[in-house]
Structure 1
C-alpha cells in the first residue's frame, strides 16, 4: 500500500522545537484518523532531539525538517531531516546512571522498522515506521487463548 503525505514541519534547531513538533505530529495524525499516536510522538521527539543535539541543525541558524506520512490510518512514517554531522546515528550503551543515550533504543523498540540515509546536500534522513492503531488488550487475547479446547 502506498503512503499518503500528511505534513512537513520545518522548525529552528532549538530544544523548544521538540515539544512543538511532537504536538504537531499528534494533531496531524489524529486529523488523518490515526487512533494511537503516542509511539509516533515519542519517536519524533527522540529523532528531533538527536538532530538538534548531534548535528549542524542545532547550531545557530540551523533547521530541522520532520515529515509525516500515513499508510492508511494504521501506520505512520516519520522522517527527520537534519543538516548533517561527521558522525552517524547509532545505538550506544550508556551506563546505568547516565541520563541520556537511550533515544535510538526507544526508537528501535517502538518502531516496526527504522533507518538512516544520507542526502546529496550533506544532511541525513532518519526515518521510522510505526503502528498507529490501538493494540488489542492483552487480557482479551490471553482469555481467548484459554478458551481453545484441545
Structure 2
C-alpha cells in the first residue's frame, strides 16, 4: 500500500540561527512519529537550510524558509526546503580543498536516493530530497 505520512511543516526566518531550529524541529517531529534513524536526513536538511540562508534572497531582511517533511511508503523520507529564490539554480560545486564549506549539495547528491530543484509559482526555489530509511521499529516485526 502506498501511503504518505505528513510529519510537519515549518516557516523560519532566513537567519543562521534557523539552521539549528530546523534540525531540532525535524528531529523532534520524526522521533515523535517513531522514526529514530534519521542522522543523514538531519545533516542534509541542515546543509540545504544553510544554503538557503547563505545563497538566496531568504538570507536578506524579511526573508523566509519553508520546510516540509513527509514519509512516503513508510521507508522514504521526503524533505522540501523552499527559499525566496536566487539568480542561480542550486548545483553541486567542486570546492577548493582549502575551504571549509561548499560541500553541502555534494553530500545531498551522495546520501539521497533522489533530489532535485523546482521553481514554485511565486518564483521561489524548492530543493527536495528523498532519503531511504528503515521503517518504524514497531513496523519491522
Q: Distance in 2 between matches of 1:37 and 1:59?
A: 30
1:133 to partner: Cα distance: 2.2
2:22 corresponds in structure 1 to: 21
1:51 to partner: Cα distance: 0.6
How many residues of Structure 1 are paired with residues of Structure 2 in the alignment? 134
1:111 corresponds in structure 2 to: 112
1:100 to partner: Cα distance: 1.2
- Any conservation in 2 of the 1:115–1:127 contact (CA below 8 Å)? yes
- Any conservation in 2 of the 1:33–1:73 contact (CA below 8 Å)? no
Q: Distance in 2 between matches of 1:48 and 1:63?
A: 10
1:3 to partner: Cα distance: 2.0
- Any conservation in 2 of the 1:34–1:74 contact (CA below 8 Å)? no
| Largest Rg, 1 or 2 | 1
1:95 corresponds in structure 2 to: 96
1:146 corresponds in structure 2 to: none
1:114 to partner: Cα distance: 0.4
- Using structure 1 for the length normalisation, give the TM-score: 0.85
5+ unaligned residues in a row in structure 1: which ranges?
135-150
1:6 corresponds in structure 2 to: 7
Question: What secondary structure does 2:77 align onto?
Answer: strand
1:132 corresponds in structure 2 to: 133
1:30 to partner: Cα distance: 1.1
- Using structure 2 for the length normalisation, give the TM-score: 0.90
1:72 to partner: Cα distance: 4.5
5+ unaligned residues in a row in structure 2: which ranges?
136-141
CA shift digits 1:8-56 (9 cap, x unpaired): 0101000001011111101111111212010110111011000111111
Q: Distance in 2 between matches of 1:38 and 1:77?
A: 14
